[in-house]
Structure 1
Amino acid sequence: MLNSLYSGITGMKGQQTKMDVIANNIANVNTTGFKSQRVRFQDMISQMDARAQGPNTGGRGGINAQQVGLGSQVASTDIMMQGGSLQFTGRALDFGLQNGDSSFFVVSQDGGASGMNQYTRDGGFYTDNNGNLTTSSGMRVMGYQPEGSGAPVLEEGLVMNTDQLVALDIPQTIQDANGNTIELQDYAVDSTGTILGTYSNGEVYIIGRLALASFANADGMEKVGENLYNSSANSGVAQFGAPSDDGFATVRSGFMEMSNVDLANEFTEMIVTSRAYSANTRSITTSDEMLQELINLKR
């Protein structure tokens, strides 16, 4: 049987995988913080028909090896971690990460009770009826709180406990130094991820600070859906810090990071993929015609 039949099949399978990735990229062109992917190919093992030979003592020169390739295969499906553009929303709990492609928000399914964290670039957060800071799917947003009781403190008394990640919340009421109950009037988040709450006594209190995670090889992270990533054996261990710290991104409140999908590039790759798939099918039909001619020799 002609090897070209099987080589054509490997080519078709590879182009099908590439088309799957392109379609997924296009489907997520408006997904917040989405990172596009690309497919790379490599050749498969080659059949050795004759090995290379060096020059011999009789004066004859060397000859190269004779090899016939047996097709192609997918080498990798890379995640393109370049940051997407920031779009202004004006919403206080929308956060975009700037100047830090390997930085991620830290979230937890159980508020950090299990110590199992996940990571996201989607900074569209919400507060529930208890004041908990959450993602759109209910994951708790992790960060740091002032040392001591963990209650909000006045700006001039800020000392953050950066040794432990906790689930952040924005309390609607707190007690001041005199034991009086005061109510939240407004809140804001600065470029360092610090959450500032203005309460009914006119004072501004530090509520907490967003945490970020950075990875030595962010391209090695695994997508798990819902705009979430898990660390992997090749991403490296998460290094925790805060926005604007050395090696970490800056937070822009009132902005959202858009998908980094380039539609012009995706449509171009779609055309190339379609033509490559057609060319591989043509190699199969041509091989079939050659086999048919061989069979016709019997007549």
Structure 2
Amino acid sequence: MINSLWIAKTGMSAQQTQLDVISHNLANVSTTGYKRNNAVFEDLIYQNLRQVGANATEQNQLPTGLHLGLGVRTVATSRNFVQGSLQESKNSLDVAINGNGFFEVTMPDGTIGYTRDGSFQLDAQGRMVTSNGMPVNNGITVPNGATKVMIGPDGAVTAIVPPATAPQPLGNLAMATFVNPAGLEPIGQNLFRESAASGQPQQGTPGTNGLGFIKQGFLETSNVNVVEELVTMIQAQRAYEMNSKAIQTSDQMLAKLSQL
């Protein structure tokens, strides 16, 4: 009877974690390039009270055992890297990846961060930067007075700088992909960091070696499905209530037992 109290408590804790993950997904439903999280659970160790396959008699073996589980725990938050919808923004500095891959940006500590958020802007020096002022890798700088910036499907950035009429090459957007993108470490600000689980970045030109193409004037929306999240929220709420009911029932049974 005491075990049931603990088991139900672990169930309530797991569903609370599930609700935390759902809330985070819903909060980022409008975040550019956001990837949906999913809580992953596993059952806890079992009490082996009767070993399956043990000898019942000299001639017979037990077809089943007696194993009492001790609850559940959260082991991971898996990230779904399915591509979100591409939405036209009509901003020449907005870019989206149509396919696999990540943009590379230089973080304040000098290390490389990876993002699917292509809402780039220009800083006071004309550098192409993220919304938080981090420059894109390869150091692309747009000259003062440039009238038009063009970004090709292969990531090549060019601009027309009067009085010249021909496009002037400015560099290429750096992109990379990973063997296990789900192993990337999220660090906020729409950025990920390389980890031992993700593997090393496989850098390349957009459109080659499994990397997606660049689409100028578009942004990738969040891949969160609001209806799916609401259904999962209802399931978590009901599971939490049932675990709470199990605790109340165990308490009532213990009270009856104490009255005997």
Give the TM bin, normalised by the shorter chain.
Answer: over 0.9
Stretch of structure 1 that moved more, 244-253 or 54-63: 54-63
What's the CA shift for 1:224?
A: 0.6
Tell me the CA shift for residue 15 of structure 1: 0.3
User: Equivalents in 2 of 1:291, 1:2: separation in Å?
Assistant: 9
The whole-number CA distance in structure 2 between the counterparts of 1:53 and 1:203 is 80
Question: In structure 2, which of residues 154, 157, 171 is the aligned counterpart of residue 195 of structure 1?
Answer: 157
CA distance in 2 between partners of 1:204 and 1:58 (Å):
89
Aligned residue among 138, 143, 162 for 1:171 = 143
Rounded to whole Å, the distance in 2 between the matches of 1:75 and 1:270 is 19
Letter of the 2:79 partner, please give it: I
Residue in structure 1 matched with residue 202 of structure 2 by the alignment: 239
Give the letter aligned to residue 64 of structure 2.
N
Question: For the aligned residues, what is the CA RMSD?
Answer: 1.5
Runs of 5+ consecutive residues of structure 1 not aligned to the other structure: 143-165, 173-182
Question: What is the alpha-carbon distance in structure 2 between the residues aligned to residue 262 and residue 254 of structure 1?
Answer: 24
**CA-CA distance at 1:116 after TM superposition:** 1.1
Structure with higher strand content: 1
Normalising by structure 1, what TM-score?
A: 0.83
| Partner SS, residue 206 of structure 1 | strand
Structure index of larger Rg: 1
Report the CA distance between 1:57 and its aligned residue.
7.6
Pick one of 212, 219, 223 that aligns with 2:186.
223
| 8 Å CA contact retained: 2:103, 2:116 | yes
Asked if residue 132 in structure 1 is aligned to residue 132 in structure 2, the reply is: no
Identity of aligned residues (%): 37
Tell me what 1:119 maps to. Answer: 114
Q: Distance in 2 between matches of 1:68 and 1:119?
A: 45
Separation (CA, whole Å) in 1 of partners of 2:72 and 2:56: 35
Q: 1:292 to 1:171 in 2, by over 3 A?
A: same
Aligned to 1:258: 221
Supply the AA of the counterpart residue of 1:276.
Answer: A
The partner residue of 2:106 within 97, 105, 108 is: 108
Q: How does the TM-score come out when normalised to structure 2? A: 0.95
Q: Structure 2: which 5+ runs fail to align?
A: none
Give the Cα–Cα distance (whole angstroms) in 1 for the partners of residues 200 and 133 of structure 2.
25
Hey, what's the Cα distance between the residues in 2 that align with 1:184 and 1:40?
50
Aligned residues: 259
In 1, are the aligned partners of 2:103 and 2:174 still within 8 Å (CA)?
yes
Residues of 2 paired with 1:33 and 1:234: CA distance?
A: 21
1:220-261 CA-partner distances (Å, limit 9, x unpaired): 111111111111110001111121122111110000000000
Aligned to 1:184: 146
